[in-house]
Amino acid sequence: MGILAAIGVLLPFPFYWWLWTNPQSWVNLCGQGRDPSTVMARVSHVLKAAQLLSLFSVASLSWPPLYFWPLIAFGQFLNFRVYQLLGEAGTYYGVRFGKNIPWVTEFPFGVIRDPQYVGSIMSLLACLSWVPFQYILLWCLGYGFMMLVESKEDPSARAKSVS
């Protein structure tokens, strides 16, 4: 089960990389009348479910240690706040798909770099008492890879709307 769990944990990252580096291909694939951010969100939710099932396949659940509660609470707060401020289009690469997404400076932006990834990593670290370290590390490395990819955005590579 170990190799399958590792593959499941890493599954979304090639998809995210492809979307970030080839946004026009995704916009074209989605076609006219379909919002590429909404389609990305739906695919991402399926991939997230696969990731979580992969973790559960190697987990041994027990009562959480004390460090669990602040990590999961603040991590999920960051994720919720990012989604609240950016919406679906801002969270799911809308700017790469040619949408005009306003720049946000409210907390946690401007205070924490990559707050959604930081929140997700905090939530994963909260699960260390249940899930073997190597699976948490793989997932965190995937987030680190995407932070690096997304930090090198080329505005000229943004997609144009399909008309």
| 106 has binding-site annotation | no
Contact assessment for residue 120 and residue 143, using Cβ atoms and an 8 Å cutoff: yes
pLDDT at 161: 66
Instruction: Determine if residue 57 is left, alpha or beta; phi over 0 gives left, psi from -120 to 50 gives alpha, anything else beta.
Output: alpha
| 31 has binding-site annotation | no
pLDDT at 162: 59
Q: Which two tokens stand for residue 137?
A: 């590390």
| 68 has binding-site annotation | no
| 13 has binding-site annotation | no
| Beta carbons within 8 Å of 101's beta carbon, 6+ residues apart | 86, 89, 90, 94, 95
Euclidean distance between CA atoms 25 and 102, whole angstroms: 24
Low-confidence ranges of the chain (pLDDT < 70): 1, 161-163
pLDDT at 157: 76
Task: Write the pLDDT tens digit of every residue in 103-137.
Answer: 999 999 999 999 999 999 999 999 999 999 999 99
pLDDT at 73: 98
| 154 has binding-site annotation | yes
pLDDT at 158: 79
List Cα–Cα distances, 52 to 55, 64, 113, in angstroms.
Answer: 5, 17, 25
